[in-house]
Amino acid sequence: MNRPLDVGVSELLRRPGTQREFEVVAELDGLRISSAAVPDGAEVRGRFTIEAMSDHAVTVKGDVVAPWTGECRRCLREIDGSLTARVEEIFETHPVEGDTYPLENERVDLEPLVRDAVLLALPLAPLCEATCAGPEPTAHPLGGDERAQGDPRWAALSELKFEDTAEDR
């Protein structure tokens, strides 16, 4: 099975200070947050420089680029775009949870790094354009239609009358 995000680093670990540049392309499904997502089957691209810090740790620096789709937070139209996430992380044989990634069997698995970077770069509240005014009120199913009736369960509220008392003034 071809795993484009699994990279061997044995030659680098034998010579600390050496580095290598490489590019990867992968399809990663399930990259979504509530407001945006990378379409399943879309290509996620990475361009990285990997450098050996010692015989048990490497740094990975570079950029991850991915397409995304979502809904405009104002008008709810479907929109799409492209994101670029800058990464700079350490992989080591004894990783510190939440701080570094694991380096196992002289290989680095870039998938968790790429997933984290893309998820953090997805827009939380996308806009189709900065001047988007939102939906047209008359086009909305509840706005502008004189015949639209409210929920009949709330009809009794329209019958309520409030009296103005001296205490209210």
| Domain shared by 31 and 87, yes or no | yes
pLDDT digits (tens, 9 = 90+) for 80-98: 999 999 999 999 999 999 8
| Domain shared by 114 and 141, yes or no | no
Using 50, 70 and 90 to split pLDDT, how confident is the model at 164? confident
Rounded CA-CA distance 54/33 in Å is 36
Q: What's the pLDDT score for residue 75?
A: 87
Q: What's the pLDDT score for residue 1?
A: 45
Domain holding 27, by residue range, is 6-121
In a domain, 1, yes or no: no
**Mean per-residue pLDDT for 139-163?**
69
Residue 19 tokens, joined: 């580095």
Compute the mean pLDDT over every residue in the chain, rounded to the nearest whole number.
87
Say yes or no to pLDDT of 143 above 90: no
| Domain shared by 44 and 72, yes or no | yes
Q: What's the pLDDT score for residue 33?
A: 94
In a domain, 141, yes or no: yes
Q: What's the pLDDT score for residue 169?
A: 58
Q: How many C-beta neighbours within 10 Å does residue 45 have? A: 15
| Domain shared by 154 and 104, yes or no | no
Rounded CA-CA distance 50/164 in Å is 75
pLDDT digits (tens, 9 = 90+) for 57-69: 999 999 999 999 9
| Domain shared by 163 and 82, yes or no | no
In a domain, 44, yes or no: yes
| Domain shared by 106 and 163, yes or no | no
Considering its fold, how many domains does the chain have in total? 2
Rounded CA-CA distance 165/39 in Å is 60
| Domain shared by 59 and 103, yes or no | yes
In a domain, 131, yes or no: no
